[in-house]
């Protein structure tokens, strides 16, 4: 049997603080980028880089998942046959996300997530009842 190595690539420790080696690596990257100047390869790479996920990216992420759930329910822009198992999976995933992020969201994010989950569950039950009647 072959050997394997486990590497911890997480950038944060258990308390949510950046790991020391990650901070040192960032500092080294900043120094290299500064020394290359604005036209260096680091600046070119940064132009196409995606900014790190932050609080402002949370609600758009949730809305994107909700749109996928609405499509699975057949309630998207293009009406389709409902796929209830897929819709249920997405709604359950949002429910789980709500539990796992409790206490770590802004009031706006928490209210938005709760509202989206409520609306999705309401629409899921309506679609499921309509499918059951068929």
* Spatial CB neighbours of 50, under 8 Å, sequence gap ≥ 6: none
Tokens (6 digits) for 12: 């944060």
> Coil, strand, or helix at residue 18?
strand
37: left (phi over 0), alpha (psi -120 to 50) or beta: left
**Rounded to 5 degrees, what are φ and ψ at 11?**
-95, -10
Please report, for the chain, the start and end positions of each structural domain, with discontinuous segments joined by +: 1-49, 55-133
pTM of the model: 0.58
Region label for 16, one of left (φ > 0), alpha (ψ between -120 and 50) or beta (otherwise) = left
Q: What pLDDT score does 14 carry?
A: 64
Residue 122: predicted pLDDT:
96
Tokens representing residue 40 in the block: 């260096």
Q: d(Cα 65, Cα 52) in Å, to the nearest integer?
A: 19
Q: Give tens-digit pLDDT for 60-84.
A: 999 999 999 999 999 988 888 999 9
pLDDT of residue 109: 93
- Positions of the chain with pLDDT under 50: 29-49, 51, 55
pLDDT at 71: 95
Residues 66 and 90: their CA atoms lie apart, in Å, by: 8
């Amino acid at each position: 049997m072959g050997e394997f190595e486990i590497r911890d690539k997480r950038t944060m420790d258990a308390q949510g603080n950046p790991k020391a080696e990650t901070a040192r690596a960032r500092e080294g990257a900043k120094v290299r980028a500064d020394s290359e100047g604005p036209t260096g390869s680091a600046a070119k790479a940064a132009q196409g880089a995606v900014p790190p996920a932050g609080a402002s990216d949370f609600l758009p992420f949730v809305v994107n998942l909700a749109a996928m759930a609405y499509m699975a329910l057949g309630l998207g822009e293009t009406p389709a046959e409902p796929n209830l198992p897929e819709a249920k999976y997405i709604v359950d995933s949002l429910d789980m996300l709500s539990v796992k992020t409790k206490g770590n969201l802004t009031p706006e994010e928490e209210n938005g997530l709760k509202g989206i989950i409520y609306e999705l569950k309401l629409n899921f039950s309506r679609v499921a009842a309509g499918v059951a009647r068929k």
